Chain A
């Protein structure tokens, strides 16, 4: 909203029009004894420059990935963001979070969506990707709704450790739809397959798991798939870290029906938890139940390649209350950041990011578990994140390491769980990791 100052003449005219003499008259119905008289306890007004200097001084107290070595993960990762992303993202042709409802006038936007979808399909191996969701959590919630629509069932099973925040979002979406969510507790840091086999029946719309799971551990994807696919119609929903797909098995290889994930690690800053970008991909046979926007490619009247918003009859502006979803917008700008990231890195680059993250994480896990009082909480294969048992409270360790220049990890007690969860990206050097280990040893 623009700032529109009123001149004394403007004020006089307005007061005259409504028939009052002064601005004070507008407050005449507020009793005298509840009115404040005197000066407000505020510092004197600052000039723009003084205000900037003051705010900068305050914001310099922040600690961030610029000032500290970050080992925090839990769904948001400090991967490197090439500078090219910000310069392309800031271009006025792209600088909006929305896909336009008459999208075809913005061919460039639709082309970038199409490229995002194509690259997500390549990463996941799936047939169809939409143009993005808000984040992994909203993507998973939409996957639950879609699975219930497709199967006409009202129950889903969570196998193993899915991010607790994602499940909160799922519960919010499922509440009004009366969808039952059954959590099977993990054993030893991965899904309890015996329990899954026992409770998964023909009332279950979807079996949901995360790989790597919340703890960073790799699930036995083929076994989870085998158990799920033995049930008539039940869908397999996989939550992925797209970076991990540079290295570990793609969801199509274990016959996932819906794949969701968090694209933050691909070119999107940590930015206080959002905006991020959700991935949503599925099989061609399920495309008419897909939520969200979809860009397609066609030939225009002159025989030239053109992009169009496709299968819009799924969406609420056409199908109203019977729409497949109420998300008809997306994280267009964030999806563009991930698109540029994927294009800049390419297959080889994403693979290298995944390999470096995994190898460094395994080095650090080894070094920390050699320390007195420290051990790995789980004995399972993991990707770039792991949980350690610590000799002191994780919260104490994290606090103590701020002063040493480290964001040491995530205290799992905030999720009613235990241990210090440590994530390692390709940005962490051997020197940083060795320093972290010696600081922990000296604590």
Chain B
């Protein structure tokens, strides 16, 4: 499985990409999507809210299971990927690209640096 080196990772199987505009893009990892199976719905009703690191910001629903989505870093949820509302299978097909979930305006950028790199993440899932 693929775990790009330019991303950071969490124990809850989310990946985080730091953008130039002070936001971070968040999605779930290839491991997470393969464990869940076919994703049928992503529910995020916290857009516009400011949440702390580790708080639940939504749920990802597969055919036979549901998982919470946790804030990898603190900040305001600024955007939901509208493409996955219509086509949740993008989360399975392209988890690091078109299947991204939300953007967060970081309130504490140093939290980003504390996240795991690709090597460390692969150790916890192997």
Chain A residue, CB-CB nearest to B43: A288
Residues of B contacting A313 in the complex (Cβ-Cβ under 8 angstroms): 61-66
Chain A residue, CB-CB nearest to B40: A313
Residues of A contacting B64 in the complex (Cβ-Cβ under 8 angstroms): 312-313, 318
Residues of B contacting A319 in the complex (Cβ-Cβ under 8 angstroms): 66
Query: In whole angstroms, what is the CA distance A87 to B124 when docked?
Result: 61
8 A Cβ contacts from A266-311 to B: 288
Sort chain B's interface into a size bin. Answer: 10 to 19
Say if the beta carbon of B41 comes within 8 Å of chain A: yes
Query: In whole angstroms, what is the CA distance A312 to B61 when docked?
Result: 10
Interface of A is mostly: helix
Sort chain A's interface into a size bin. Answer: under 10
Residues of A contacting B68 in the complex (Cβ-Cβ under 8 angstroms): 322
Expressed in whole angstroms, the minimum distance between the Cβ of B69 and any Cβ of chain A is 13
Query: In whole angstroms, what is the CA distance A300 to B59 when docked?
Result: 28
Chain B residue, CB-CB nearest to A152: B45
Chain B residue, CB-CB nearest to A289: B43
Chain A residue, CB-CB nearest to B64: A318
8 A Cβ contacts from B49-74 to A: 59, 61-66, 68
Query: In whole angstroms, what is the CA distance A322 to B62 when docked?
Result: 15
Residues of B contacting A312 in the complex (Cβ-Cβ under 8 angstroms): 64
Query: In whole angstroms, what is the CA distance A156 to B64 when docked?
Result: 33
Per-position binary interface string of chain B over residues 36-49, scored 1 when its CB falls under 8 Å from any chain A CB and 0 otherwise:
00000101000000
Query: In whole angstroms, what is the CA distance A27 to B66 when docked?
Result: 55
Chain B residue, CB-CB nearest to A312: B64
Query: In whole angstroms, what is the CA distance A313 to B41 when docked?
Result: 10
Query: In whole angstroms, what is the CA distance A319 to B67 when docked?
Result: 9
Which 9 A-B residue pairs are closest in the complex by CB-CB distance?
A: A313-B66, A313-B61, A319-B66, A318-B65, A318-B64, A318-B66, A288-B43, A313-B65, A288-B41
Known: A313-B65, A313-B66, A319-B66. 4 other contacts (CB 8 A): A288-B43, A312-B64, A313-B63, A313-B64
Interface residues, chain A, with chain B CB atoms under 8 Å away? 288, 312-313, 318-319, 322
**11 A-B contact pairs sorted by A residue (CB < 8 Å):** A288-B41, A288-B43, A312-B64, A313-B61, A313-B62, A313-B65, A313-B66, A318-B65, A322-B59, A322-B66, A322-B68
